[in-house]
């Protein structure tokens, strides 16, 4: 009885919050896209990592609807092709132009294999993209690994730090030339509010002395923010902007490594449906930073719910940001 009562209360409270959140997001979407302006991103090429599911897929769907040429950089090509087929069908059913894998222009959707846990894959991806693409208007570093058991990337890095930070660090570094030649262009980095619980321990970046999956995730997200701020400093005067965001708590498959007891699962599912954002709602800030005229020229800032938010002092430490940059260059092989 007590469990049933608690569940009912959670459902009622969650339902109210869910409705309030949807009203906020709905108003922001209408304001951002001018009621669905299909030409807002016409002529723009956008690269999104991890675009086959969750936030990345939702971001791709919206930017595609706005006329962008979207490149999906995904680890699993088969899953990415399946997601691309679904996106094309959804766009067609919504009455928009069906994206073509062959013909250039608005609504084009391209799938490319990219494994951020492999520096070799990142380099091969960038080499191919630089040969094939004349411009890149927006890079969205979206893919991520969340609280996985201890494992290492192909290059021997702790998985969360390796994928969430180092993989994207190398990807962005190798594409900077194209972004600069395509200016004005934008870089969007997806971080998390959980950065607040992370620390940059330069003595054990690879977590070989100790490993806590929650702490390591938070550290990788703090690294995303420090990377963004240092990159913004280095890009001053280039007309390339870079901003970082947190999407809030979103219902995606990112938490697949988290074990939830069977008896608790129904209650957890109820809470998640009541309190967590949908992928489309969570993607709004990514879409906003990638497309909105409101943030033209804005760089080095931290956003949530399509507005700027303050950072903790440790995320604004310039000396730590520069040191992390220098070490990252060595780790990914840019500098020997």
| Lookup result for tokens 């879409």 | 287
Spatial contact of 118 and 169, defined as CB atoms under 8 Å apart? no
Q: What's the rounded Cα separation, in Å, for the pair 116 and 145?
A: 10
Spatial contact of 75 and 115, defined as CB atoms under 8 Å apart? yes
Helix, strand, or coil (residue 310): coil
Closest CA to 289 of 280, 275, 299: 299
Q: What's the rounded Cα separation, in Å, for the pair 211 and 91?
A: 43
Phi, psi of 93 (to 5 degrees): -70, -25
Distance of CA 87 to the CA centre of its chain: 18
Does residue 217 have an active-site annotation?
A: yes
Phi, psi of 209 (to 5 degrees): -80, -35
Active-site pick, 195, 197, 211, 217: 217
Q: Could you list the active site residues?
A: 217
């Amino acid at each position: 009885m007590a469990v049933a009562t608690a569940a009912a209360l959670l459902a009622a409270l969650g339902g109210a919050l869910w409705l309030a959140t949807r009203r906020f997001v709905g108003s922001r979407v209408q304001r951002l896209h001018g009621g669905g302006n299909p030409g807002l991103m016409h002529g723009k090429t956008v690269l999104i990592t991890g675009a086959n599911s969750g936030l990345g897929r939702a971001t791709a769907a919206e930017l595609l609807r706005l006329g962008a040429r979207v490149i999906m950089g995904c680890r699993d090509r088969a899953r990415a092709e399946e997601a691309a087929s679904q996106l094309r069908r959804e766009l067609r059913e919504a009455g928009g132009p069906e994206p073509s894998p062959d013909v250039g222009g608005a609504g084009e959707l391209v799938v490319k294999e990219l494994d951020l846990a492999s520096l070799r894959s990142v380099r091969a991806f960038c080499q191919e993209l630089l040969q094939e693409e004349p411009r890149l208007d927006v890079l969205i570093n979206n893919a991520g690994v969340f609280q996985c058991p201890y494992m290492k990337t192909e290059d021997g890095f702790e998985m969360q730090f390796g994928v969430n930070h180092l993989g994207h660090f190398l990807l962005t570094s190798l594409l900077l030339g194209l972004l600069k030649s395509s200016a004005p262009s934008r870089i969007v980095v997806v971080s998390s509010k959980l950065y607040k619980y992370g620390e940059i321990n330069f003595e054990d970046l690879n977590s070989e002395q100790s490993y806590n999956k929650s702490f390591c995730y938070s550290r990788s997200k703090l690294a995303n923010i420090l990377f963004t701020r240092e990159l913004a400093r280095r890009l001053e005067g280039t007309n390339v902007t870079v901003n970082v965001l947190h999407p809030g708590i979103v219902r995606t498959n990112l938490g697949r490594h988290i074990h939830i007891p069977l008896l608790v699962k129904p209650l957890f599912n109820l809470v998640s449906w009541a309190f967590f954002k949908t992928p489309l709602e969570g993607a709004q800030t990514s879409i906003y930073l990638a497309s909105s005229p409101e943030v033209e020229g804005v760089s080095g800032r931290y956003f949530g719910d399509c507005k700027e938010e303050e950072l903790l002092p440790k995320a604004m430490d310039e000396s730590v940001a520069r040191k992390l940059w220098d070490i990252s260059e060595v780790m990914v092989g840019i500098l020997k």
